[in-house]
Amino acid sequence: MTASPVLGRDDGPVRILTIDRPDKLNALNRQTLEALDAAFTQAAADGTVRVVVLTGSGSKAFVAGADIAEMSALSAVQAREFSLLGQRLMRRIERMPKPVIAMVNGYALGGGLELAMACHLRVAADGARMGQPEVNLGLIPGFGGTQRLLRLCGRAAALELCLLGAQVDANRALQLGLVNRVVPAAELEEQTLALARQLAASAPLALRGVLDAVVTGGECGLEEGLEFESAQFALLFSTEDMREGTRAFLEKRKPQFHNR
């Protein structure tokens, strides 16, 4: 039986998923995309998991891109199916009801950057490098890169990265809004897990409300987004966690949230 290319382990309420193809710089082939889809489906359904951290095996790469050897043999029809497979995974991650943090430990190129952008937050090692180099292969991004770059960083940055196909370092990525934090490589796991634990201690239903409102708002007009936010805000008043959070504030103590 072939070993899964995605490893999972738990750090309390934090599920850590590691793409484990270090000899291929964790490149995304069909098997890896399908394994990631299964892993995120399982994490979404597991009530003990509050936050997911996604990373790549080894120190060289988060994900260096799609598996070119596999991809180069595809027909146009097969390439569209492969693109849609990748896009479905990215959409699943983006629509996760729990925060997902990309722990970018090296190269995040092509499909690797698309994977990181689908996550809700990105923490990068100071030596990480990112880019959408598909134009150098005679291609364009196929897992959502053009669209998420546009929404995350704006038109100018999306065109710069996709047209030039050049890599940017972690600090430039931070300037562009492509990552949330840049930390020393030796502290990457420690600081990412600290952030994950901070999120895991928050009210899960409120976190889900934020994720739903921001993702939905990014895909609709302002008035529709405001209406959705108002509905989510009101809905949380029916939860035990909201009552606990407001009581704890008034009583000057730390709240204890129970996802109810």
Which residues are identified as catalytic? 114, 134
How, if at all, do strands 107-109 and 51-56 pair? unpaired
The answer to whether residues 120 and 102 touch, using CB atoms and an 8 Å cutoff, is: no
C-alpha neighbours within 13 Å on the C-beta side of residue 51 = 23
Which residues are within 8 A (CB) of 9 and not within 5 positions of it... i.e. 6 or more apart?
A: 15, 16, 18
| b/e code 100-138 from CB counts within 10 Å (16+ = b) | bbbbbbbbbbbbbbbbbbbbbbbbbbebbbbbbbbeeee
